Amino acid sequence: MRILALDTALPAISACVLDSGATEPLVIESLPMERGHAEALLPLIERVMAQVEGGFASLDRIAVTVGPGSFTGIRVAISAARGFGVALDIPVVGVSTLAAFAAPLVLGPKPAQERESALPGVIVSAIDARHGQVYLQACSQTGAILLAPTVLPLAEAIDKLPPGPLRITGSAAPLLAIAAWSGHRAAEVEGEIVATPILYVARLGMIADPEGAPPRPLYIKAPDVKPPSPFRFSFA
Amino acid sequence: MRVLGIESTCDETAASVVELRPNGSGAILSNEVHSQIAEHAAYGGVVPEIAARAHVEILDHLVRRALDKAGLRFSQLDGVAAAAGPGLIGGVMVGLTTGKALALAGAKPFMAINHLEAHALTARLTDGVDFPYLLLLVSGGHTQLIAVRGVGEYTRIGATVDDAIGEAFDKVAKMLNLPYPGGPQVERAAQTGDPTIFDLPRPMLRRPGADFSLSGLKTAVRLEIQRLGRTPRPNDVADLCASFQAAVVDVIGDRTRAGLRLFREQFGPPQALVVAGGVAANQAIGHALSRLSTQTGVKLVIPPPGLCTDNGAMIAWAGLERLRLGMTDAMDFAPRPRWPLDAGAQRSHNGKA
C-alpha cells in the first residue's frame, strides 16, 4: 500500500509518501509556517508527488491529521485530502495530531531493547490550545489510552494525568513539563515539539480502519459563539 | 466541455457540473446545494466558524452527488472551478482547497473564481445574454451596479456606501423579531401592510452618480418603532415592512435608472439589465425593475431564484467562460476575503459593496 499523509493542523505544512513495509518514506517535506497554509499546501504536495514514480495514480490511500490544532488549519488539510479521495476514488483516513505525536514514543524510533530500558511512564501528548489551555491525551507505553483527547486549563492538566513519571511530547510539551516540575512530578520532554511528525501520520494512517477513522475534524472546542437575545426597545 | 463548480463563500455549500455546448450555450447537468440556514438560525445571522465547519463536513459528498447526478466520472471533466472569494475566509478555504486538490490529482485545469463574477456571468448561462450589459447585484453581502463588458472586464458604476440591501432587510426583520432569514419574512409581512402608513426616507434619490445608501432607512425604521411607544403589533409589523419595502423599491428603481444612464454615457446601449443575488427573488423589486425595463426599452433578465442565490452552477459556468479563453490559475492561488470585481474602483467605505 502506498499512502500520502498531509498535515496543516499546527504551525507547519507537511506531506509524506510512504510504502507499506518501508522504514523510510519515499518523499517527505515539512515547512514551518504560522499562516498561509491554504496557499502553500497544494504547491508543496505538487512538489512531493512530482518525485513519486507513478504520481497520484500510484496512491492507495490518503491520511490526514484531523486535529486538535488550528481550526482553519485542520480544515485546509482535510479539504485537500477529501478532494484527493474523490478525484482518485481511494479511501481517506483521519489521524489525530495527539496520536501522531505519541506514536514515535510508542512505536519507536529507538530499537526495542533500548525502549525497554527507558523509563516506564505515561506518554502524554500536549498541544497548545491558547488562552492558557492545552489539548491533551495520555497513553501507556503500549499505546493504551489512559486519558482520552480533551482540552484543559494548563494548571489543571497535571492533576488529571494518571500517576507515574510523564514523557511529554507535542507543541505544549515544554509548558506542561514546567507545570509538572513545579508540582514536583517527574517529567521529561521527548519527541517532536513543533510540527506533527508526518511520517507517523502516514504509519498510523496505514494501519487505520477507514470505517473507524473518518477524515472528520476533531476540534474538541465548540465554536465560541452565543445566540443573541431577542431585539428589545426601551420605550422610556 | 464540462466543468465542476464549487461554492462555499457564505452559508451555502454547493457543487455543480455545467456543460458548454458547441453553439456556445450552457447546460446544467447537476446542481447540488446545501443551505446552512438551520445551523445559523439560532444566532440570527451567519456565524463564520459554524459556516466553515458545516462546509468541510459536507462538500466532498456534494461533489460526488453532483458527479452522480450528471452521470459522469470525475475523469470525464475538463476542468475544476472553485469560488476563491470574496466571502467568509474559513469557508472559502474549504471550497478553494477542495477544488485545487481535485484539479491537481486529476491533472485538470483549475479556475479560481470571483464569486461576484460568477453572479455577473449567470445571465449568459441562463439567457445567452451578449456583452455588454448592466448588472444589478443585490444580496445580503453586496449591492452594486456593474458594467459587464466581457469576461474579466467589469466597471463598477455604483455601489452602497454602507449596508447591503439584503442586510437592511435582515436588520429590519431583526428589529421586528421576525425569524431568520429575515428578507423573505419582510416581503411576506409587507403583502398585508399599507406602505403609506410610515413615511420613510428614500436615501440618495436623484443624487448624481448611482450609489446606494441603506443605513439611514434602517435607522428611520427603528425610530418609527420607538415612536409607536409599544411593541409592534402584527398590523404595525405589516405596515412597517410594507413601508420599508416600498422605500427600497423606490431607491433601487432610481439608482438603477441612474446606472443605465451612466452605462450609456460610457459604454453605449446595454444589451440587457441583469439582476443577480438573493434579493432578486423579491417580487416587489422585480416588478419595479420590470416597469423600468419597459420605460427604458432595455431587456430585463432575472435568472431563476435558485441561480440568483449562491450556487455551484454559476461557479462552473464562470469556470467554463474562463477556461475557453485559457484563463486558468495556479495551485498557490490565495483565498480572498475581499475581491472587488472592478480592481480600479474606489474602495468602498466598509467593504460591503
Q: Does A235 sit within 8 Å of B229, measured CB to CB?
A: yes
User: What are the pLDDT digits (tens) for A28-43?
Assistant: 999 999 999 999 999 9
* Residue A236: predicted pLDDT: 47
CATH of A119-189, one of 3.90.650.10, 3.90.580.10, 3.40.190.10, 3.30.420.40: 3.30.420.40
The total of other beta-carbon atoms located within 10 Å of residue A207's CB is 11
CA distance B15 to B66: 6
Distances (CA, A) of B81 to A15, B226, B307, B315: 24, 48, 17, 6
Distances (CA, A) of A118 to A158, A191, B35, B206: 22, 14, 54, 82
Are A66 and A94 within 8 A, CB to CB? Answer: yes
* Residue B286: predicted pLDDT: 96
Residue B133 backbone dihedrals phi, psi, to 5 degrees: -145, 165
Judged by a CB distance cut-off of 8 A, whether residue B59 touches chain A is: yes
* Residue A235: predicted pLDDT: 57
Q: Does B175 sit within 8 Å of A83, measured CB to CB?
A: no
Compare CB distances from B52 to A75, A86, A233 and report the shortest one's residue: A75
CA distance B80 to B319: 7
Report the SS3 class of residue B1: coil
- Residues (pLDDT < 70) of chain B are 344-353
Distances (CA, A) of B31 to A34, B4, B34, B66, B312: 37, 10, 10, 6, 6
DSSP A71-123: HHHHHHHHHHHHHHHHHHT--EEEE-HHHHHHHHHHH-SS-HHHHHHSPP-EE
Are A59 and A3 within 8 A, CB to CB? Answer: yes
| Grid cell of B175 as nine digits | 428589529
List the domain boundaries for chain A: 2-96+195-207, 119-189
Sheet holding A12-19: strands in order across? A27-32, A12-19, A2-7, A61-65, A92-95
Residue B289 backbone dihedrals phi, psi, to 5 degrees: -70, -35
Minimum distance, in Å, between the CA of residue B21 and any CA atom of chain A:
24
Are A68 and A98 within 8 A, CB to CB? Answer: yes
Q: Hey, what CATH class is B2-124+306-347 in? A: alpha beta
CA distance B36 to B43: 12
* Residue B226: predicted pLDDT: 93
- Which of A17, A216, A221, A233 to probe the B interface (max B CBs under 10 A)? A233
- Which of B7, B32, B46, B60 to probe the A interface (max A CBs under 10 A)? B60
User: What are the pLDDT digits (tens) for B193-243?
Assistant: 999 999 999 999 999 999 999 999 999 999 999 999 999 999 999 999 999
Are B260 and B136 within 8 A, CB to CB? Answer: no
User: For residue B58, what are the β-bridge partners?
Assistant: none
Minimum distance, in Å, between the CA of residue A133 and any CA atom of chain B:
20
Domain covering A2-96+195-207, topology: Nucleotidyltransferase; domain 5 (3.30.420)
A/B interface, count of CB pairs below 8 Å: 123
Q: Does B97 sit within 8 Å of A41, measured CB to CB?
A: yes
List the domain boundaries for chain B: 2-124+306-347, 132-305
Compare CB distances from B105 to A84, A217, A225 and report the shortest one's residue: A84
CA distance B252 to B284: 11
**Closest residue on chain B to A88 (Cα):** B105
Q: Max CA-CA distance within chain A?
A: 80
Judged by a CB distance cut-off of 8 A, whether residue B177 touches chain A is: yes
* Nearest partner of B60 among A235, A83, A119, judged by Cα: A83
Are A2-96+195-207 and A119-189 equal in CATH topology?
yes
Compare CB distances from A235 to B74, B99, B230 and report the shortest one's residue: B230
Q: What is the pLDDT along chain A (236 residues), one digit of tens a residue?
A: 999 999 999 999 999 999 999 989 999 999 999 999 999 999 999 999 999 999 999 999 999 999 999 999 999 999 999 999 999 999 999 999 999 999 999 976 554 445 544 557 899 999 999 999 999 999 998 899 999 999 999 989 999 999 999 999 999 999 999 999 998 999 999 998 889 999 999 999 999 999 999 999 999 999 988 777 666 665 54
* Residue B353: predicted pLDDT: 52
Q: Name residue, grid cell 464562470.
A: B318
User: For residue B87, what are the β-bridge partners?
Assistant: none
Strand (E) or helix (H) holding B61:
helix B48-70
Q: Which is it for the CA torsion B213, B215, B218, B219, positive or negative?
A: negative
Judged by a CB distance cut-off of 8 A, whether residue B232 touches chain A is: no
DSSP state of B199: -
Bond preceding residue B203 cis, omega within 30 of 0: no
Domain covering B132-305, topology: Nucleotidyltransferase; domain 5 (3.30.420)
Task: Work out the burial of residue B347: count CB atoms within 10 Å of its CB; fewer than 13 is exposed, 13-18 middle, 19 or more buried.
Answer: exposed
Are B86 and B337 within 8 A, CB to CB? Answer: yes
Long-range contacts of A105-113 (CB under 8 A, 24+ apart): A105/A141, A105/A167, A105/A169, A105/A190, A105/A191, A106/A139, A106/A141, A106/A142, A106/A143, A107/A143, A107/A200, A107/A203
Contacts of A184 (CB under 8 A, 6+ apart): none
